[in-house]
Amino acid sequence: MTKAGKGGRRIGFVGIGRMGKPMAINVISAGFSLMVYDTNQESLREMEQLGASVARDASQLGKYSDIVIVMLLNYAQIKEVILTPQGVLNHMRKDSTIIIMSSLAPIQISEIDNIAKDKGVGVLDAPVSGGVSGAKAGTLSIMIGGDDEIFSDNRALFEAMGKNVKHVGDLGHGCAFKMINQIMVEVNFAATAEAMAMAKMLGLDLEEVFQMVSKSVGNSEVFRRCAPKIINRDFNPEGSIDIAVEDTKDILQTALALGISLPTVTAAYHGFHMAKSLGYGAEDEASLIKIYERFV
């Protein structure tokens, strides 16, 4: 078995995808002992070449790890890999920790915590913002909810993956903070696609539109990233339509539980869901503009 690395703790990482892989690379580059698990064999081979151990299944990862980081797409995947009898959590030792870095609803984090408590396992929720580029650069914003002592014990691990690392309160508050951020992000993506589509229909030069808006009050970080991708027809994913659908769905389900209406997020959700239905799910959110182009 691989020796314990930095801090004497063994780190497990579930989800070696577009976001998870660069995050895992930064963890091992920082000197932590790492075991990874995923269904993507190519990603696992790449991680093994970098010095990570590869788990044959979820139970082996659970037995190995003092800390397990989870970076999967949605709650359905997390339940399958983490919460089933042969999943990670059922094989973790007492006083170990699971860190959920996927974007979930607070109620879903509470469900994981309730199961983990019975095993004597601590839970932090630590969703991220910054996209694939931030994951590669190790500059992610990480919003952490949960026990302050567990957070402090793992600060160096978080700082291997992110630059803006902040403990934001009780368990579930990390996901709550991420939801608030994603309301602004996803609505801005929808607004950018609509604005650029209308500009195109009006016969405007899209590059000139970008230059003008980016220096006006309509500017946003999302616009600065999304508009050039639309202009250059670059729909390689930084985020993706699939993720936008999951994020907006979680936001709306939480709003329903709170008894409030979010009409702007509802409109954005329907736009992203339509784009997914048309086959653009794996593409960047900028591909939302293709919906409007179908009707020109």
**Bridge partners of residue 50, in order along the sequence:** none
| Domain boundary, last residue among 171, 203, 229 | 171
Identify whether 24 is part of a domain: yes
**Percent of the chain with pLDDT strictly greater than 70:** 97
Q: Are residues 227 and 137 in the same domain?
A: no
Q: Are residues 28 and 167 in the same domain?
A: yes
The CA-based angle 9-139-240, given to 5 degrees, is 105
Distance (Å, rounded) from C-alpha 267 to C-alpha 262? 9
Q: Where are the alpha helices (DSSP H) in 122-262?
A: 131-137, 148-153, 155-161, 173-201, 206-213, 221-231, 241-258
Residue 192 and residue 222 in contact, taking contact as beta carbons nearer than 8 Å? yes
Q: Which two tokens stand for residue 98?
A: 């699971």
Q: Are residues 146 and 245 in the same domain?
A: no
Identify whether 1 is part of a domain: no
Residue 61 and residue 88 in contact, taking contact as beta carbons nearer than 8 Å? yes
Distance (Å, rounded) from C-alpha 244 to C-alpha 204? 28
Identify whether 200 is part of a domain: yes
Identify whether 41 is part of a domain: yes
Average pLDDT, the chain: 94
Q: Are residues 183 and 142 in the same domain?
A: no
Q: pLDDT grade, residue 296 (50/70/90)?
A: low
Question: Which amino acid is present at 13?
Answer: F
Report pTM: 0.88
Q: Are residues 167 and 182 in the same domain?
A: no
Q: Are residues 59 and 153 in the same domain?
A: yes
Q: Are residues 189 and 205 in the same domain?
A: yes
Mean pLDDT of the region 218-241:
95
Identify whether 70 is part of a domain: yes
Q: Which two tokens stand for residue 234?
A: 């670059």
Q: For 13, phi and psi rounded to 5 degrees?
A: -135, 120
pLDDT value for 37: 97
Question: What are the tens digits of pLDDT across the range 88-104?
Answer: 999 999 999 999 999 99
Total tally of structural domains belonging to the chain: 2
Residue 75 in this model has a pLDDT that exceeds 70? yes
Question: Which amino acid is present at 264?
Answer: T
Domain encompassing residue 121 = 6-171
**Largest distance between two CA atoms of the chain:** 64
**Bridge partners of residue 37, in order along the sequence:** 14
Q: Are residues 132 and 220 in the same domain?
A: no
CATH of the domain at 127: 3.40.50.720
Residue 166 and residue 142 in contact, taking contact as beta carbons nearer than 8 Å? yes
| Domain boundary, last residue among 171, 187, 205 | 171
Q: Are residues 159 and 253 in the same domain?
A: no
Q: For 34, phi and psi rounded to 5 degrees?
A: -135, 135
Question: What are the tens digits of pLDDT across the range 15-67?
Answer: 999 999 999 999 999 999 999 999 999 999 999 999 999 999 999 999 999 99
| Domain boundary, last residue among 145, 171, 197 | 171
Residue 172 in this model has a pLDDT that exceeds 90? yes
| Residues acting as catalytic residues | 178
Residue 3 in this model has a pLDDT that exceeds 90? no
Task: State the number of CA atoms in the 13 A half-sphere of 227 facing the CB.
Answer: 26
Q: Are residues 109 and 227 in the same domain?
A: no
Q: pLDDT grade, residue 5 (50/70/90)?
A: low
Mean pLDDT of the region 201-229:
97
Q: Are residues 149 and 184 in the same domain?
A: no
